[in-house]
Amino acid sequence: MSFNRVLIEEKIKEFLKEDCRFNDVSSQVIPERPPVSAKIMAKSDGFISGLEEIEILFTLLKVEATLKKKDGDQVKQGDIILVLKGNPRNILLGERTALNLLTHMSAITTTVKKYLNIVKNSGKNVKIACTRKTLPGLRIFEKKAVSLAGLEADTHRFSLDDMILLKDTHLKYYKGDVGTLLNDVKKGASFTKKIEVEIEKSEDVLIAARNGADIIMLDNMSPEQVEKALDLLKENGLRENVIIEISGGIHMDNIKNYLKVEPDVISIGKLTLFPSEQVDLSLKFE
């Protein structure tokens, strides 16, 4: 998946400026010529992502980058990820930024892949989504890393203006009245925006479905509570009218219990904030 290249370039320029404002004083003794070769290698198993970004980074530094893997590919310890050729000072100038971004994005992709495998083995048709719990400045890269895990992985909304998501903080001002909140929001909402509402009680799922919610989020509910909410929708002929997203407290150890009740989407904030899987990479000169 390719995102806005102009935006990616601008972000990477910011990262390079952060790491070196004026001059790499450690590399002044390194000869600028002749051009040298270096390679980025995997020191552990996993799935690689961020290669498009690293190619852009080294192009900005006038270093030739030859990719040996594609974004989303599985890698094994010892695999060569990409080969670099150019001014050694420029390679060193981009080394840490490149490795940091590759490592972080690959950790996310590898973690999402692990969740997707659990879903696949369950035989259920459920999407795994990330959330807006992303590190400031890195959202475009973290969301992309999620998408690179596969078609069953969803990036959810990128920003507050993508869709309407009414959470407990909004519901507080309506004293828990889901119906009135939805009706008031719809009066000023663009027809282009889907409306999602978070509910705290299983029985409120009927109010949300009957008052125009496109997506209902069952937040921090047990599998039994989720099942009760879905049964209410089925009994009233409303299950197919809404998308059901569940979120909150879902992890590797309990996700199978939630898959059994068959929601449409499971969203997990830790996919981007605290990816459980790590991919170790290093750069070596030849």
203-258 residue pLDDT tens: 999 999 999 999 999 999 999 999 999 999 999 999 999 999 999 999 999 999 99
The pLDDT value recorded for residue 139 is 96
If you average pLDDT over residues 118-134, what whole number do you get?
A: 96
- How far CA 184 is from CA of 197, 211, 241, in Å, comes to 13, 10, 20
The answer to whether 112 and 128 have CB atoms below 8 angstroms apart is yes
Span 163-208, pLDDT tens digits:
999 999 999 999 989 999 999 999 999 999 999 999 988 999 999 9
**What is the distance, to the nearest Å, from the Cα of residue 155 to the centroid of all Cα atoms in its chain?**
6
What's phi and psi for 227, nearest 5 deg? Answer: -60, -40
Assigned CATH for 115-273 = 3.20.20.70
If you average pLDDT over residues 128-132, what whole number do you get?
A: 97
Angle between helices 88-122 and 51-60 (to 10 degrees): 170
Are 5-114+277-285 and 115-273 equal in CATH topology? no
How far apart CA 80 and CA 40 sit, in angstroms, is: 6
The answer to whether 188 and 195 have CB atoms below 8 angstroms apart is no
How far apart CA 110 and CA 278 sit, in angstroms, is: 8
Domain boundaries, the chain: 5-114+277-285, 115-273
Q: What is the pTM of this model?
A: 0.94
Span 90-119, pLDDT tens digits:
999 999 999 999 999 999 999 999 999 999
What's phi and psi for 9, nearest 5 deg? Answer: -60, -45
Output b/e per residue, 193-217; b: 16+ Cβ within 10 A: eebbbbbeebebbbbbbebbbbbbb
Tell me if the domain spanning 5-114+277-285 has CATH number 3.90.1170.20: yes
Residue 29's pLDDT band (cuts 50, 70, 90) = confident
The pLDDT value recorded for residue 2 is 65
Q: Tell which residue, 232, 220, 211, 201, has the closest CA to residue 258.
A: 220
CA dihedral 161, 215, 272, 153 (to 10 degrees): -110
Q: Is the pLDDT of residue 21 over 90?
A: no
